[in-house]
Each structure stands twice: as C-alpha cells, then as structure tokens.
Amino acid sequence: MDLERLPELLRETVGPRARVAAIESLKWRQDYTVLLVNVEQPETRVVVELAGPKAELACPFERTAQLHRLVASRTGLDMPEILGVDTSYGRYPWRYLVKTHIAGVEWVQVRQQMSARERAHAFWQLGHVLAELHYIHFDSFGELTADAEVEHGQSCLEALQARSRERIRPPVMRERFLELLEQRSAWFEGVKRSCLTHEDLHQHNLIFDHQCDAWRLATILGFDKGWAGHGESDLARLALWRGMSHPLLWKAYHGVERPEPGWRERRPVYQLLWCLEYARETPVHLADTSQLCQQLGVRFERFE
C-alpha cells in the first residue's frame, strides 16, 4: 500500500503543521493497514486505518466512526476522537479513518500482570460498561447504516437469519444453521429488546490502563462489526471464549440489564454462530463447534 500521501492526510485531519515523527505498523493485510503514528506540531499520537479497493475486509469506516460517537455520548466509556473519515476515494487512493490514540494494554497481555483481585475488578468494570453499551436501544433488529440507523427493520430471528447468510462461509454449515434457526424459531419470538451489539469483545479489543495504582478499562476497540442485535449475543460469546468470563462480570451486568426469559436456551445458538463464522481448523475450535452442534442436534463433520 502506497503511503506517500499520508503526511498530506495528517495535515488535513490533525493540523496544518502536523509532521510525521514515527510510524508503527499495527496490522498489515492485503490493501489494508492500521498504523500508529507519532505526530509533531501538535505532539500527539493517532491511529490511521487505510483500506484500498482490493481490501478483503469490509472496512465500514463511516459507520464505525458514528458508533464511536454514539458510544462516547451515551456511556461513560472513553472513546477515541474521530479526526477524519472518508470512504469515497474522492481525494486519496484509499478509504481512511483517523482517530486519536488511547494509551493502554490489551487484555491478553495485562491479565497476566494482574492479581486475582485486580482481575476480578477488571471483569466488574467490563460487565458494567457492557450493560451501558446494551442500554443503547434501537426500534428493531438488523444491520446499521453509516449513520448508525437500522437499515432494514427486522425481528430478532429475521436479523439473525440475514446475518448468518452473510457471515457463515461454509455452505453446508450455513444451511444447517439456518435450518436450526427455523426449527428453534419459537425461542426467539419473545426477544424484542434490540440494542447495540459489539460482537467482537475478544482479548485484543479490551484496553486497560494503569492509573493511581489501579487497572482501569481505558476503552473498547473493534466496533466495525457492531449491529442492532441483542446483548445476549455478546454475553454468549464471552461465556464461550476462554479467559473472558468471571462471576463479577455477570453480577455487574445483571445489576443494570436483566436477562430475558429463554436466554439459556438461546445462548448455544449465538455461540455456534460465532464458531461457524470464524471457521478455523484448529483442535480447540473444532472441539467447541462439535460440542455445540451435538448440544443443538446439528450434524457436523468438519468445515467445508
């Protein structure tokens, strides 16, 4: 990816005298990159995401930017400030998102440094913030537009069916999962409370900072998969992922948001959707998928 015009972009988004002091590559894929840039005049650090026309990722930067603003205005969570976003290719050879950098350490690294008491408090913070996110409600279910509005108002079941068709790549397992949703449709009839659902609260997207001798949840990254779903989906994935659950997380969360009836029956359905969406041929992932399929009565051999 050609970065020749990056200084020009920074002068436009950060300040007219902005100058690149150093660049660190955080992620680099086909026609897509994430950069941490040290800037002088003014002295600051920004995160720059660039995606060209051949990028494999969808990169809905404008929607992500709007979700950042929404979360910043409706919760107590610190969010990076959006300095610039454009997906039109009007002035540059790539789509871009420029935002301020919030210092911190990923959960995958910091949890090893914490005491048991500090980890418990970290989970309590996550449960409280997650309840705040899920308190951002929508009138219906479905994917979100660039303005963070529901694109096509649907029921919970209809939205899950549409999302499954879009995200499950192995065709045989996609059809079997859709059959499962049809067979278990009664489980979703009473689900009416649509909210902002992150869907990607994994150990690299939770950022903690050490201040005043205590670990604080500094921010949450990765809102590009966010949609108008149900908070049960986020909770189900956390319960499945190793190292992402703790009794204090559930206590803090349920102190704000009460689970809807039938949650325990629906949980493995959400979990299986994730397993099929991220179809990986690793022993652990295959074992998790197989166990959930057996629990739900879905036939599974391997991903195809």
Tell me the average pLDDT across 230-257: 94
- As a CATH number, domain 6-100 is 3.30.200.20
Q: With pLDDT > 70 as the criterion, what percentage of the chain qualifies?
A: 100
Tell me the average pLDDT across 71-93: 96
How much helix, strand and coil, in percent to the nearest 5, is found in the chain?
40, 20, 40
Count of CB atoms within 10 A of residue 101's CB? 17
Q: Are 136 and 234 in contact (CB under 8 A)?
A: no
Whole-model pTM?
0.93
| Measured distance CA(286)–CA(119) in Å, rounded | 29
Burial, 49: exposed, middle or buried (Cβ in 10 Å; 0-12, 13-18, 19+)? buried
CATH 3.30.200.20 in the chain, residues? Answer: 6-100
| Measured distance CA(256)–CA(166) in Å, rounded | 32
Closest of 21, 129, 139 to residue 78, by C-alpha: 129
Each residue's pLDDT tens digit, 90-131:
999 999 999 999 999 999 999 999 999 999 999 999 999 999
Reply yes or no on whether the pLDDT at 255 is more than 90: no
Burial, 97: exposed, middle or buried (Cβ in 10 Å; 0-12, 13-18, 19+)? buried
Q: Are 210 and 203 in contact (CB under 8 A)?
A: no
Each residue's pLDDT tens digit, 147-191:
999 998 999 999 999 999 999 999 999 999 999 999 999 999 999
CATH 3.90.1200.10 in the chain, residues? Answer: 105-296
Phi and psi angles of residue 147, each rounded to the nearest 5 degrees, phi first: -95, 10
* Residue 165 confidence (pLDDT): 97
- As a CATH number, domain 105-296 is 3.90.1200.10
Q: Are 127 and 251 in contact (CB under 8 A)?
A: yes
Count of CB atoms within 10 A of residue 199's CB? 21
Each residue's pLDDT tens digit, 201-223:
999 999 999 988 899 999 999 99
| DSSP states of 85-137 | EE-S-SSSSSEEEEEEPPP-EEHHHHTTTS-HHHHHHHHHHHHHHHHHHHTSB
